Amino acid sequence: MSIASATRRGRSARPLGFTMFEVVITLGILTIMVLIVQATVDGATRAERRLRATRIATERGERITYELLASVNGSRMLFGDDGVGPDYLDALELGERPLLAGARLPRIDELNPLGPDAEGEPATGNILLFARETDAVEVIADAGSGITRHVDLYRIVCVYPTQTTRKLLPDPPVQPSRDLVVWRSVRFANLSQLEGIDEDDERRSVVADLANRHGCEHAWDLGAPFASAFFRLGALGTIETFAEANMSLVEDPDASEGGRLLYADTQLARTLAGDYHRGARLTNDDPAAWTPDGFEVKISGLSGSRKVWMHLVVETPGGRGIVGVQSNTVIAHPRDL
């Protein structure tokens, strides 16, 4: 028998299939390939989640920031932590959305340019309280002749953080979410305009029309201390001689927007020192004593040329530990009286 014949016979006698070594190598290669594909898919999924969460946070944060900018630019009076602002703040009927514990009004700095707080002199707050002029209403001054007048109306607006019971971010540390509320009062008529109507019958007609047809119950003496600022308007056209005692500023549910973040699965971000987005900007307070937690307000300048600095930080969950964070800073130039 030749050697070639023996070789062919030996090859034909080998069993068909793979050896154990070949099976192990093949399974190892397949496992590595599966792990690579899974890591690629997981990375793409996490990237998509992060992008989506950041996009939602950006859209919500920018929308609210520029809404506030437009509103404050049209304000007529700003309230700070002085002899007037706290009384107005205490009189707000906030209902089911109370102020966050520790929230404070900014102290209006008339001497220094807009910038970080001086050491030991906290001026930044996280409550924005101001009066905004609404559209003037046309009222009847003389029903017989058809003479009408226009009266300016105002609302008190308060933007503030509130604590909720919802926990938006499930990842530790699990903390209740904080929302940003935009609260608006009922309308108040300009007292000086009403008192400036010389004809008694015309004034009574105007006041009666305000009270009965426009639902305006009080006239406001702009700039007066709170205790002497509001006077009740009677259905017969009278203006009370004395200011309303124990006046409460009631919300107008048709004008208020309520919570502006949580309904869109977004929340105020808590202040985190050293974090680019979550870090405080203007306050120099000891973080152990006070933090703005997502909303900073500072007011500087003399009356008539004030600047209102607002910094808003929001975050949106993307799931599996992913959080989209966005910070926005704007400066308003209101027509403060």
Average pLDDT for 24-36: 75
8 Å CB contact between 233 and 144: no
In sequence order, what are the residues at sequence separation of 6 or more whose Cβ sits closer than 8 angstroms to the Cβ of residue 186? 155, 215, 216, 217, 250, 251, 252
CA distance 334 to 331: 10
Asked if residue 157 has pLDDT above 70, the reply is yes
DSSP code at position 121: B
Asked if residue 1 has pLDDT above 50, the reply is no
Average pLDDT for 3-10: 49
8 Å CB contact between 322 and 298: no
| pLDDT for residue 277 | 87
The region of weakest confidence among 25-29, 155-159, 267-271, 301-305 is: 25-29
Average pLDDT across the chain, whole number: 88
Q: Which residues pair with 182 in a beta bridge?
A: 159, 258
| pLDDT for residue 223 | 79
Tokens of 230: 């509001």
Residue with more model confidence, 11 or 318? 318
Per-residue pLDDT of 249-289, as tens digits, reads: 999 999 999 999 999 899 999 999 888 889 999 998 999 89
Average pLDDT for 312-332: 88
pLDDT band at residue 6 under the 50/70/90 scheme: very low
The region of weakest confidence among 42-46, 128-132, 138-142, 227-231 is: 42-46
Q: What is the 3-state secondary structure (H, E, C) of 15-65?
A: CCCCCHHHHHHHHHHHHHHHHHHHHHHHHHHHHHHHHHHHHHHHHHHHHHH
CA atoms within 13 Å, Cβ hemisphere of 57: 25
State residue 148 phi and psi, 5-degree precision: -125, 160
Asked if residue 66 has pLDDT above 80, the reply is yes
Asked if residue 5 has pLDDT above 70, the reply is no
Asked if residue 190 has pLDDT above 70, the reply is yes
74-78, 134-138, 150-154 — most confident range: 150-154
Average pLDDT for 117-130: 93
8 Å CB contact between 68 and 310: yes
| pLDDT for residue 11 | 52
CA distance 4 to 12: 12
The region of weakest confidence among 24-38, 52-66, 191-205, 303-317 is: 24-38
Q: How many helices (H) and strands (E) does the chain have?
A: 5, 14
Q: For the chain, give the number of residues.
A: 337
Asked if residue 45 has pLDDT above 50, the reply is yes
8 Å CB contact between 134 and 190: no
CA angle 330, 282, 90 (to 5 degrees): 85
With 0-12 CB in 10 A as exposed, 13-18 as middle and 19+ as buried, what is 55? middle
